[in-house]
Structure 1
Amino acid sequence: SDITCDSFKISWDMQSGGRDQITHYFIDLNKKEDRSSHKVKHMDVPTKLVAKAVPLPMTVRGHWFLSPRTQYTVSVQTAVKQPDGEYVVSSWSEITEFCTADYSTVQLMQLLQKAEAIAGRMLPFTVFYRNQQEYFQPNRDAQRCQMLPSVKDNSGSHGSPISNKLEGIFFSCNTEFNTGKPPQDSPYGPYRFQVQADILFNHNTNMYFGDFYCMYTSYHYVILVLAPNGSKGDTFCKGRLPVLDRSNNGFLTFTKEDSGALSFHHAQDVILEVIYTEP
């Protein structure tokens, strides 16, 4: 693609007569202001002088530290350096708007490697669980006790392909190392729903790495996606997210015991957020 999460390639028409005389390009690249946003706006990137003459189309990558999923505007101006050091410049080109893309598998693999480095040892667990506030209870009862999927919000890495796109039910599986059970308290609410691990995570489930981030604290979060093979969520994740070996990864595994039962383990040193795509 001509536009990725941190680069763009855009062409402008030029008159061929003076093209050979061009020595420099001025590039004006700005982050487009979102007037509906209350976030602190980054300062616009100032006009840059490219020190080396390059032919159009040209690719600008990394130099301006582009952010994923962000609207930008860009225009170009050509310049011819004179013997006295002054420049003869053209008028500015038309302004082009573009939006950078999500993280590719390259960036996600980099996050995956960072997460693996701090995941820590594996601890056993037996259930997935989620806590919620009381006001969710009537909605669940109205749907015959079925928990309805919701769209993943914007928390986590800004460029994660699943944010605002993937639907699912959110679960936790972390346990206290001294009891082997889920923690008694949760910031998400006092009401807890839990399900045996093998119902959601088994040989018919594909697992994907979705994100790795921190909340400016000592806690690090890893988002994993559990998608039944061939499901809508599985189709969405294929090609977008790194797939994980169910029995050999640093975050969430199951192995088959001699009795035929499955044994489950989770990483100790990261907080796992598990999205199950099919309710």
Structure 2
Amino acid sequence: MTEDFVDVGVLPCTLDGGVAARAAIGLVVLGIDQTMELEFRRLMPLDGVGLYATRVFCDNEITPETLRAIGPRIAPGTELIMPGQHLDVVAFGCTSATMTLGEEAVFAEIRKVRPGIACTTPITAAFAAFQAMGARRIGVLTPYAPEVNAIVRQYLDSHGVKVAAFGTWNKVLDPEAARISLDSVEEGVARLAAATPLDAVFVSCTSIRLSERIEQIERRAGLPVTSSDHAMAWHCLRLAGVNDTVPGAGRLFDLTLEGARAAA
């Protein structure tokens, strides 16, 4: 042992609540998604809220067949999130796959490995957001091709959502959807808002960016705007009992659930 070496031995320490002292949120992300984790981190700049993501395989093409194929991958993906550790909420991050499979089927897959946990999906969160905002006439903007848009329209209609305006960028490849510019999102929302009276606009697809320009987009449209990632980040916080407002995150983040639709 050299003269300049000192071993101070075992040091005392205290344990605090850790990164997730207030809430631990699990996120199941599609393998090709470029947007969701960035959106969530922008929308959750809160001390004590931990976000833990896993990824599941999916195809680049967005078709009913590739969306249905995601179903059996949800439980194995969920199982990889903080094994043996507490989570408050698990969110599944694909809007069109949820509407293809059905929310209850997605929840059942998650609960195979996380029994009884609170769950959400982009469309579950959107329904909760509409309810919290008191929005009845909804404008819907998507990047999807016609056959997926048909699933979206049917699902919303069957769940009592009045779709008063609909627009699409008609993309088949998810990596292209991820590159739709914020200018295009702002213009698309504004066109829907100008087409007919609306209570809110929902931008469907977790690949679409919104958070960094949400306030400007809402000001131009003159009404509340949310998206798959935006609504689901809000819903995760509220389901976990975190009711903080988030400056710059848009009108929705000023609201609590107050009876909005949620998966218990």
Q: Give the structure-2-normalised TM-score.
A: 0.24
Q: Give the structure-1-normalised TM-score.
A: 0.23
More helix, by proportion: 2
